């Protein structure tokens, strides 16, 4: 399908490439991606009382705070969605869980430009049990614990403003 023309930029974290797709006659495009991995987990943490934990996170790309759910990329190509979910819940919000459901939904947040994707994961029986251990440069906190009804209202009013989180939460409301 796509063929590499050249690498425009590469550092320890990401690369920007010029690619083309002769099959569809679309010409050349710019794509970007993570160097180490292209998958991650988007986690819907459901507390023991049924409420969902939402996060508030500053994102440099938008230069704004976004409301959503914990998520993160794999550290290694072989890292499982379960391992990513466990690590990210502990690091970002100090949450442990009783069970995980790895759904079939892969979300591609920028499919026109990037190959990375996140798998939606439902974490059930969650409780806050440790102090978060944020990585350098991360600004994440628990925004609120909300009921299903409150979650619907936050989605309807646009308070939840992260696209991956919105998709994961809609999936949870429909199938969780």
What number is the average pLDDT over the span 65-82? 96
Whole-angstrom distance, CA of residue 46 vs CA of residue 111: 28
pLDDT confidence of residue 163: 96
Beta bridge partners of 66: 57
pLDDT of 30 reads 81
For 23, phi then psi, to 5°, come to: -60, -35
The helix (H) or strand (E) run that includes residue 126 is strand 117-128
Residue (of 46, 58, 24) closest to 95 by Cα position: 46
Q: Could you tell me which residue, 28 or 87, shows the higher pLDDT?
A: 87
From CA 22, how far away is CA 1, in angstroms rounded? 8
Q: Does domain 39-175 match CATH 3.90.79.10?
A: yes
State percent of the chain over pLDDT 70: 98
Residues 6+ apart with CB under 8 A from 98: 48, 124, 125, 126
Taking the mean position of all CA atoms in its chain, how far away is CA 99? 19
Cite the residue boundaries of each domain of the chain with CATH code 3.90.79.10.
Answer: 39-175
Within 10 A of 88 (CB to CB), how many other CB atoms are there? 24
Residue 20 confidence (pLDDT) = 84
């Amino acid at each position: 399908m796509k063929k590499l023309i050249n690498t425009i930029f590469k550092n320890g974290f990401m690369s920007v490439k010029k690619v083309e797709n002769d099959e569809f006659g679309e010409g050349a495009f710019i794509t970007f991606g993570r160097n180490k991995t292209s998958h991650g987990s988007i986690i819907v943490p459901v507390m023991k009382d049924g409420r969902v934990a939402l996060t508030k996170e500053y994102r440099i790309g938008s230069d704004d705070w976004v409301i959503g759910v914990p998520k993160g990329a794999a550290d290694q190509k072989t890292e499982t969605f379960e391992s990513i979910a466990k690590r990210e819940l502990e690091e970002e919000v100090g949450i442990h869980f009783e069970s995980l459901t790895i759904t079939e939904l892969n979300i591609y947040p920028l499919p026109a430009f990037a190959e990375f994707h996140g798998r939606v994961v439902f974490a059930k029986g969650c409780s806050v049990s440790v102090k978060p251990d944020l990585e350098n440069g991360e600004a994440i906190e628990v925004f609120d614990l909300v009921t299903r009804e409150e979650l619907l209202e936050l989605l309807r009013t646009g308070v939840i403003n992260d696209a991956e989180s919105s998709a994961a939460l809609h999936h949870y409301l429909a199938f969780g």
